[in-house]
Amino acid sequence: MWWLLGRHFWLALAVSYALLGTGNGASSALGCYSRIFSFGDSLTDTGNYVRLTAKKNPSPYGAPPYGTTFFGHPTGRASDGRLVIDFIAQEFGLANVTAIQEGTAPSDFQHGANFAIISATANNGSFFAGKGMDITPFSLDTQMFWFRAHMQQLAAQNSNVLSDALVALGEIGGNDYNFAFSRGIPREKVRAFVPAVVEKLAATVEELIGMGARAFMVPGNLPFGCAPLYLRRFRSNSAGDYDPATGCLSWFNGFAEHHNRVLSKRLDQLRLLHPDVTIVYADWYGAMMSIFQDPGRLGITNTLLSCCGNQSVACGKPGCAVCNDPSTYGSWDGTHPTEAVYKVIADGVLHGPHASPLPLAKTCPPS
């Protein structure tokens, strides 16, 4: 008889309804994201660049053997398979966060949208003008411009799309430095870019919080001093330029470490200002260095070599050379990691230890 269930039962029922919150159960508290919005560069682009540039100038990133390991065909990802963002989406049950240039209708973006694009910088063209870098990049401002337009399009359907979304902000900023180094701009001058890059990221976090975002993953830079392209471009006769433990360029990695320290300190400040917002710093650098410091662990033996292409025939160009087993390589095409490396990074961020203040997967308690 239902009236025999007693008041504790009804109390328990009332409490569980309260815990479910006012919306649907899955979106209670901060956990269990309904969608992902991501921003970044070639480490996160899942098709935007190739889409935008296809007509003018077909990109090697849209040609085989890109995509060979996982998708079986080129998808516009600058790797042989999945990227960190794919593994994160998979973990949260949100496979296929659609690239913003690929979807057309709001129904294409049920799991969120990816604004990241190959070659993107954090700063915009006016920052680089007058610094010896005449570029008009797909900056973070460009991506936010697309994002605001997308939000307006979605607003008609659902006014609250940001409150239960995960925002993946980056990695972005690496190109601000890499482009400058490659143009021969002195290291001290490039070092002076760091505050502007970090402020651009912080301002974007603030803007997104103002729009209703409540959960962020913000990655630091990768150890590009271990990338085959930069090892070749900045080859040196001085043993002091190299880390004896890994063979990577010490000054280049030291630069990434500096950026990452400034960024994590800035994120600490943002957490204090916004105690109701989750901001996870994703230590992509530490996760990737764990491979260089212990080659062969996890089967990645060719840590400082690239699997696809070479100096004369780049990956994605007709006739480029490809290794037999990409999963044993640190680099896919000279600058971008293999899927195997992205998996190690994603695991470290999702489950620790390469995330702070807590592993990303813990921000979504199992329901």
Ligand X SMILES: *[C@@H]1O[C@H](CO)[C@@H](O)[C@H](O)[C@H]1NC(C)=O
Does position 124 interact with ligand X (CB under 6 A)? The reply is: yes
How many residues line the site for ligand X (CB under 6 A)?
Answer: 16
Mark whether 336 is an active-site residue. Answer: yes
Catalytic residue, chosen from 42, 59, 79, 327, is: 42
Residues 44-63, mask of contacts with ligand X (x by CB under 6 A): --------------------
Strand, helix or coil at 37?
Answer: strand
Closer residue to ligand X in complex, CB, 102/257: 102
Beta bridge partners of 36: 112, 166
Phi-psi region of 59 (alpha: psi -120 to 50; beta: other; left: phi over 0): beta
Q: Smallest distance from the beta carbon of 15 to ligand X, in angstroms?
A: 36
DSSP-H helix ranges across the chain: 6-20, 48-53, 84-91, 125-128, 140-155, 174-182, 187-191, 194-211, 228-233, 250-273, 284-292, 339-351
Nearer to ligand X, 309 or 348 (CB): 309
| 250 binds ligand X per the rule CB under 6 A | no
3-state helix, strand, coil in the chain (%, to 5): 45, 10, 45
Active site residue 259: no
313 binds ligand X (CB under 6 A): yes
Interface residue with ligand X among 96, 119, 163, 182 (CB under 6 A) is 96
Among 121-129, 256-264, 338-346, 350-358, which window interacts with ligand X (CB under 6 A)? 121-129
Sheet containing 215-219: give its strands across: 98-99, 112-114, 35-39, 165-169, 215-219, 278-282, 355-356
Helix or strand (DSSP H, E) at 114: strand 112-114
Residue 75 engages ligand X in binding (rule: CB under 6 A): yes
> Of 29, 30, 71, 102, which lies in the binding site for ligand X, with binding defined by CB under 6 A?
71
Contact 124, 104 (CB under 8 A): no
Among 57, 237, 311, 324, binds ligand X (CB under 6 A): 311
> Is 42 annotated as catalytic?
yes
Report the residue from 45, 80, 141, 283 that binds ligand X according to the rule CB under 6 A: 141
Query: Which stretch in 153-161, 177-185, 312-320, 326-334 sits in contact with ligand X by CB under 6 A?
Result: 312-320
CA-CA distance, 42 to 38, in Å (whole number)?
12
Cβ atoms 35, 165 nearer than 8 A: yes
Least spacing, CB of residue 18 vs ligand X, in Å: 34
Q: Report the residue number, 184 or 319, with the smaller CB distance to ligand X.
A: 319
Least Å distance, CB 89 to ligand X, is: 9
Binds ligand X by CB under 6 A, chosen from 24, 126, 159, 269: 126
Choose between 127 and 329: whose C-beta lies nearer to ligand X: 127
Among 2, 319, 324, 366, binds ligand X (CB under 6 A): 319
Out of 270, 310, 323, 351, name the contact with ligand X by CB under 6 A: 310
Secondary structure of 136-195 in HEC code, one letter for each residue: CCCCHHHHHHHHHHHHHHHHCCCCCCCCCEEEEECCCCHHHHHHHHHCCCCHHHHHCCHH
Give buried/exposed letters for 310-325 (b at 16+ CB in 10 A, else e).
eeeeebbeeebeebee
Return the active site residues.
42, 333, 336
Interface positions with ligand X (CB under 6 A)? 71, 75, 95-96, 124, 126-127, 141, 200, 310-313, 319-321
